[in-house]
Amino acid sequence: MKRTFTLLIALACLTLAGCGFSLRGSQALPAELQQVALSAVKPHALLKRELKARLKVYQIPHIEASELAGSANTVLIRLQPETLERRLLSVFSTGQVAEYELIYGVNYQVVFPNKEPLYASFEVLRDYQDDPDKVLAKSRELDLVVSEMRREAADRIIRQLARQASGQ
């Protein structure tokens, strides 16, 4: 019985590996791309800071774009200012806003060595319930939600970078 179970597990792993399945976040940059250079329109952009932290988690070497000295194996990511918009979803009977949809927009450009720049943009969406009676707590919650959205955006940039690099 134990041997059959082990055989089934091995067969399932081989099937998943054979179809190209990989866990999210396990993709690395191709070996010919040695590091990533980051640049942002705003020097202290929070998305840039989060992207640096996420690159460190994925063990992808990175440098500042100002340190880029014509390295042939460096990918440049140019971040544009991120946007945060709120869309009204519902109101209380008193007319006060009850719920928003937060829209975190990201625009960036990726420049691979000896290639044309690739432009990309996407949005991260979250629903946010507002309570006018708990302004301080809701303000802190909003900061946490936006921080989570920024982390998700950084992870998404890295996943798209790995996919674009393998497609080059």
Domain chopping of the chain, boundaries = 30-167
What three-state secondary structure class fits 47? helix
Q: How far is CA 50 from CA 29, 146, 160, in A?
A: 19, 12, 16
Q: Which fold has domain 30-167?
A: Double Stranded RNA Binding Domain (3.30.160)
pLDDT at 81: 94
96 versus 156: the higher-pLDDT residue is: 156
pLDDT at 22: 56
pLDDT at 84: 94
84: which strand partners? 104
Mean of all residue pLDDT scores within the chain: 83
The number of beta carbons lying within 10 Å of the beta carbon of residue 157 is: 23
Q: How confident is the model at residue 63 (pLDDT cuts 50, 70, 90)?
A: confident
pTM to 2 decimals?
0.76
pLDDT at 69: 63
* Span of 3-17, 21-35, 70-84 with lowest mean pLDDT: 21-35
Contact 34, 74 (CB under 8 A): yes
| Packing angle of the helix pair 135-167, 46-57 (nearest 10 deg) | 60
pLDDT at 51: 94
pLDDT in tens, 110-147: 988 888 899 999 999 999 887 777 767 778 888 999 99
